[in-house]
Structure 1
């Protein structure tokens, strides 16, 4: 599918936040973090804004030119990645002076321990050692889902991963997204993460496929 893609900047912040909020309002993990629907509607945008700010500062946000979808990526170097993870736990290794999940909870929803817990749990399962591209989140306008926009955004980065022999990693938060990622070459690594009294998440890894890119260009 031909999708015009550009890199988002600060001027796109509110658009990205709206996309993520709409895409994840009914996601199983968001429902677990904010089980009360009224509280979720009020607070969920603040969490999406925090994620957006983190990736604008430290990573890259790819945005469909028509504003229908976005993908948040972090380039993770080789080494120990403790302190990183989906839902607010990205950082530079984390330490006593940079407890990102706790800071996120304090900023977004101080009385909600799950805001902090999701960051700690995903950090615990994040693979260490090899450099990789980390797909933190991908959001598609609910009215445009099913059109292949998410796959097109992801493949644009996977093509670069294949050219540069770089792996990719993500955590799938629902069965539908897991099926998409499997079609794109991701496989489950380790054990799924079962959130306490909540849904399951799947850590997934994709090895680069240089031959695939070469054939596509040949």
Structure 2
């Protein structure tokens, strides 16, 4: 299987795939409670995330676009104030009335990140029809081989069934936490270098 760096022409297709992959994700379901609104908003939001993450690290995609991983480099795990200002209008346009809930999730994620240098696996998604065939795992392993193997890798997930999947890739749960004011439950996971 071929895993490559995503390029600008991949952005719309990868964003649409990620929107389908995260259609039932607990965090995005809390941010956008209405499934129709979620289906409409997620492609635009994932396009913004993909462009920002690619600039701050790397975006990997399978050759057929069935799976993708978005990584933020050491020291760039959190979106800087400058990045936030640059994208403010686009983010508010993508989030609309869900901006407050999205900021609560983002703040909680930032508050629970580890200290020190690490690669941040911000997003890992696979086309729902292609799940269970090893594509997502291979996209993650490709990122680990490219960069994160030299430093720890960190992620968080709000989907409990993903915890075992990430454990199989060498990640260990380092904490559990909830987004304040009724938000989703998350698991923080860290993978040692190597």
TM-score by length of 1: 0.79
Counterpart pick for 2:187 among 202, 212, 218: 202
- Residues 161 and 167 of structure 1 are in contact (CA less than 8 Å); yes or no, is this contact kept in structure 2? no
Unaligned runs of 5+ in 2: none
Pick closer, same or farther for the CA change 1:153–1:111 going to 2, 3 Å.
Answer: same
Larger Rg: 1
CA–CA separation in structure 2 for the residues paired with 1:98 and 1:186: 29
CA–CA separation in structure 1 for the residues paired with 2:62 and 2:146: 17
TM-score by length of 2: 0.88
Report the structure, 1 or 2, having the larger helix content.
2
Aligned length: 190
Q: Counterparts of 1:10-89 in structure 2 under 5 Å? A: 10-77=8-75, 84=78
Unaligned runs of 5+ in 1: 85-89, 210-218
CA–CA separation in structure 2 for the residues paired with 1:161 and 1:17: 23
How far does the alpha carbon of each residue in 1:157-198 deviate from its partner, in whole angstroms, 9 at most, with x for none? 2234575x3110001221121111111111122x31212323
Counterpart pick for 2:130 among 144, 169, 178: 144
CA RMSD of aligned residues (A): 2.1
4+ long deviations beyond 4 Å: 97-100, 160-163
The CA deviation at 1:98 is: 6.1
- Residues 57 and 72 of structure 2 are in contact (CA less than 8 Å); yes or no, is this contact kept in structure 1? yes
Counterpart pick for 1:108 among 74, 94, 115: 94
CA–CA separation in structure 2 for the residues paired with 1:179 and 1:157: 19
CA–CA separation in structure 2 for the residues paired with 1:53 and 1:160: 19
Counterpart pick for 1:192 among 169, 176, 179: 176
Aligned to 1:128: 115
